[in-house]
Structure 1
Amino acid sequence: MNLIILEPEDFVAEDRVRLVDRRLVHARKHLKAAPGDRLRVGLLDDRVGEAEVLRIDREALELRVALNADPPPASSLTLAVALPRPATLEKVLQQGTALGIKRFCLFHCRRVEKSYWDASALAPAALRRQLLLGLEQSCDTHLPTIELHRRFLPFAEDRLASARTQGPVLVGDPLGATPCPLGLSGSATVVLGPEGGFIDYERERFAALGDALISLGPRILRVETAAVALLARLAQLPS
């Protein structure tokens, strides 16, 4: 936790917060915080800054907060991922959020296990927790959004239609004929398939819709590895 994220309900006065949950545990156990120490904090969907520790014990952490800086700039990329197994989903959401992704799309395709759609990892609270972990890691405060698309064709043909008007749709696939570009500028949507890859029909639909099938090379990567590799390669870093 590189940033303690605050929410409006944490405030007990205009510039003071009281925390009693895992943020208290982290400050005591890992940061070894003591009265007078200064900690990095940020208000959810708002600014970042520092907070002075006024009190810390087993019951509560009380801070005096000053928010005076902007969080890191957001990525211009959207990440769409064929719904993976829950443990992988958690990694993708955390790592994608840490890399600045502000919109995730989770979609169904042939090789996605239907049972994944009933997993507790898709509960709103569970998804939010993974996003918060990514924000805490990267000192960001702006919570991403997550879209769920349970049918492949409506996702590929209808949902991505609006994305195509804003920038390219790049479909990551080991069989892709185009090497992944480096340093893409502007908006784009990155689409990743399941562990077993897209079936031929799905690849053909993306190609017919004008999407580029891009590759990182012949190695078969785990979804979470491919996501980080593609996002890092495509990222347009601020000057």
Structure 2
Amino acid sequence: MNIVLFDNEQRVNDELVRLTSRQSKHIHEVIKMQAGERIRMGLLNGKMGYGEYLGHEAAAIRILSLNQDPPKPIPLTLVLALPRPNMLKRTLLNVTSMGVKDIVIVNSAKVEKSYWQSPVLAYENLQEILREGLEQAKDTLLPSLQLMPRFKPFVEDMIPQMVVGKRCLLAHPYNANVCPVALTESSVLAIGPEGGWNEFEVDKWSEAGFDQVHLGDRILKVETVVPTLLARLYPAGL
């Protein structure tokens, strides 16, 4: 945890923020912070700054300043075929930490139907994962996350509006071009399941204007592909 994120429900007043049990435990047991020390904090979807930790018993922080902007997001919408639940959690943590603010989880023919029944997909659990990603990256802007369990209606009805004015890339290693580097424009990136998109899905993406790209001859796991592609498309500092 590199920043303590709080929302308005945690405010005791204009100066005092009450910590959640998870936050209090982490600060006390992992960071081992002492009362009176300064700690980085931020309002969810708002400014960042610093506060004074009031100790484990108080489980609160006094706001000292909130006058810093969060890091600039990368201009990318990520469309991700639903991976295995454990991999989804790790991937969302990475994606959020790297600055993606628009995430769509979509179905694919090679996605196990049971994945859609996982408790990981519960709203509260997804929000907790996203917040952990923000805490890692010292960010406050919560990503938008949509679940789309029906592939065809999503690609036919929603993608046309989503891709206007953006570069469209489909991560698919067959009959593909080398993935571009250091984009300056906004983009939409679609990444398939472990077994890849099927022929019907590839055709639908192609009809929607997506260009197929690859990272070489090796077939990588989703949790490896996602951060690799993001770092290639939008290197840090650009």
Tell me the TM-score normalised to structure 1 length: 0.95
2:142 counterpart residue number: 143
CA positional deviation for 1:175: 1.4
Partner of 2:182: 183
**Counterpart position of 2:4:** 4
Q: Deviations over 1:16-61 (max 9, x none)?
A: 11224111001101111112200111110000111112x213x442
Matched with 2:61 is 63
Q: Which residue of 2 aligns with 1:89?
A: 88
Mapped to 2, the partners of 1:209 and 1:186 lie a distance apart of 18
Partner of 1:74: 73
Equivalent position amino acid for 2:136 in 1: Q
Note the C-alpha offset of 1:108.
0.8
1:23 corresponds to: 23
**Which residue number corresponds to residue 225 of structure 1?**
224
Q: Is the alpha carbon distance of 1:33 and 1:169 closer, same or farther for their aligned partners in structure 2, counting shifts above 3 Å? A: same
Q: Which residues of structure 1 form unaligned runs of 5+?
A: none
Letter matched to residue 109 of structure 1 = S
Give CA deviations for 1:109-137 in whole Å, capped at 9, x if unaligned: 11011111111111000100110010000
Partner of 1:132: 131
Does 1:104 find its partner at 2:127? no
Secondary structure of the residue aligned to 2:158 is helix
Cα distance in 2 for partners of 1:86, 1:174 equals 24
Does the C-alpha gap of structure 1 residues 221 and 69 become closer, same or farther in structure 2, counting only changes over 3 Å? Answer: same
Structure-2 residue corresponding to 1:13: 13
Matched AA of 1:99: M
2:44: which partner in 1? Answer: 44
- The one-letter code of the counterpart of 2:62 is R
CA distance in 2, matches of 1:205, 1:12: 51
TM-score under structure 2 normalisation?
0.95
Q: Which residue of 2 aligns with 1:192?
A: 191
Q: How far apart, in 1, do the equivalents of 2:51 and 2:5 lie? A: 11
Runs of 5+ consecutive residues of structure 2 not aligned to the other structure:
none
CA–CA separation in structure 1 for the residues paired with 2:175 and 2:21: 46
User: Which digits, 9 at most, give the CA deviation of each residue in 1:177-221, with x for residues without a partner?
Assistant: 211100011211110000011112211222233210110111111
Q: How many residues align?
A: 237
Q: Distance in 1 between matches of 2:123 and 2:99?
A: 20
Return the letter of the residue paired with 1:22: R
Task: Report the RMSD for the aligned CA atoms in angstroms.
Answer: 1.3
Q: Offset of 1:176 from its aligned partner?
A: 4.5
